[in-house]
Amino acid sequence: MSPLSSLLSIAVLAAAIPNGTPPPPVTPPTSPQCCNSVVPSSSTAASAVAALLGLDLTGLGVLVGLSCSPITVVGNNCGSTTVTCDAPEEEWGGLIAINCIPITL
């Protein structure tokens, strides 16, 4: 096998291997959340939580909420950061919410 064909074989193999999970979809924020912190999706904290959940936040460029719970009552005393985010996926267990925008209740 020539070096060129070996290199081509490696390139074809690399293209066939998936790069992990795709980033979660970013949709308009509609879910009021109380989050312990809100950080850029590129931050170390967001990346660490995302890695635990098997999410890839590369290139999202949005704010994410960490340790969030839904606000279900108007006037709820959040005590942390009140935001509106994409509704977090149930399997994320409140650890992360995507595309958060700070709000004032």
Domain boundaries, the chain: 23-102
- Residue that the structure tokens 């149930």 belong to: 90
Whole-number mean pLDDT of the chain?
76
Q: 0.75 cut: is pTM over it? A: no
Tokens (6 digits) for 27: 């949709």
What average pLDDT does range 59-87 have in this prediction?
A: 84
Tokens (6 digits) for 49: 């939580």
Report H helices in the chain.
3-16, 44-53
Other Cβ atoms less than 10 A from the Cβ of 60: the count is 20
Burial of 85 per CB tally in 10 Å (0-12, 13-18, 19+): buried
Q: How do residues 5-17 score in pLDDT, each as one tens digit?
A: 333 333 333 333 3
Angstrom distance (rounded) from CA 60 to CA 87: 16
